Amino acid sequence: MSFLSGGYYLVRPMSRAEHMNAVLLPERILTVSDCIADLAPDLWATDRSKIALESRLESASKFGIDEAGLADIIQWTTAALENGTLGWTSVFFELSTAHEFAMRFLGQSPDYQVLGLALHRDHCPALMEEAAPEEGGAESGLYACISAAREPVGGGRAVGFDVLCLDWQSFHSYICNGLEVEFDQKLGIKPNKLGFFDREADARKCAEYAGLDSTGAEPGLWQPWKVVLYDF
pLDDT digits (tens, 9 = 90+) for 141-193: 999 999 999 999 999 999 999 999 998 778 999 999 999 999 999 999 999 99
Question: Using CA atoms, how far apart are residues 197 and 191, in angstroms rounded to an integer?
Answer: 5
| Residues of the chain where predicted confidence (pLDDT) is lower than 50 | none
Pair 118, 110: CB distance under 8 Å: no
Residue 190: Cβ-neighbour burial (10 angstroms; 0-12, 13-18, 19+): middle
pLDDT of res. 108: 62
